[in-house]
Amino acid sequence: MRRRALILWGLLTMASALHAHDLHQSTAEVEFNATTKKLEVSLSVFVSDLELALMRQSERELSLEKTAAAEVDAEIQRFLVAHFVVKDGAGKAAEIEWAGRKMEGGTAGDPAVTLYFEVLLPGGITGVALSHTVFCDRFADQLNLVHLRSGAQSAELRFMKGDAAKGLGVGK
């Protein structure tokens, strides 16, 4: 057990040292589809940040390029359930449906990945709140931006460490 902890500590230290960017930000495009009653989400993050978060969560080495896709996707879904939480009007966490991911280019040599998923909201968007804490436990200056659309209405939300859940105030 001690050896496993030392190996994990070493992996996390190496991953932290390889961290290639000073910008700690995620961006999400979220659209409420009134027909399917789902939030359609595309969340863009730096690959290095995501891999580090997944290694911490799983306590083993993971790579978006080298680890089996099914294993990585399962860990990403676990991560999203904990850090991108949508609660319906009754305060119940809504179900996330995984759609996939796509590697993107990045800044300063650090590639990004876009995560695609949907959040089922059978009761619609009224009274719904989002808690978006992706990487907030890792970076004190983490900023998570959300551009939300519902029909012709739109809103911009910003989440930082310590922020409470925010209502999705469009489409009412």
pLDDT tens digits, one per residue of 57-88: 999 999 999 999 999 999 999 999 999 999 99
Q: What is the pLDDT of residue 104?
A: 86
Total domains, the chain: 1
User: Strand pairing of 129-132 and 84-87?
Assistant: antiparallel
Average pLDDT over residues 102-106: 80
Is 172 inside a domain boundary? Answer: no
4 pLDDT exceeds 90? Answer: no
The residue with greater pLDDT, 18 or 166, is 166
For 73, the domain range is 2-167
Structural domain contains residue 16:
yes
Residue 151, number of CB atoms within 10 A of its CB? 12
Q: Looking at the domain assignment, is residue 21 inside a domain?
A: yes
**Distance between CA atoms of 41 and 115, rounded to whole angstroms?**
8
Q: Give the Cα separation of 172 and 170 in Å (integer).
A: 6
Q: pTM for the full model?
A: 0.84
The residue-averaged pLDDT of 25-47 equals 96
* Residue 136 maps to a domain: yes
In this predicted structure, the answer to whether residue 9 has a pLDDT above a threshold of 90 is: no
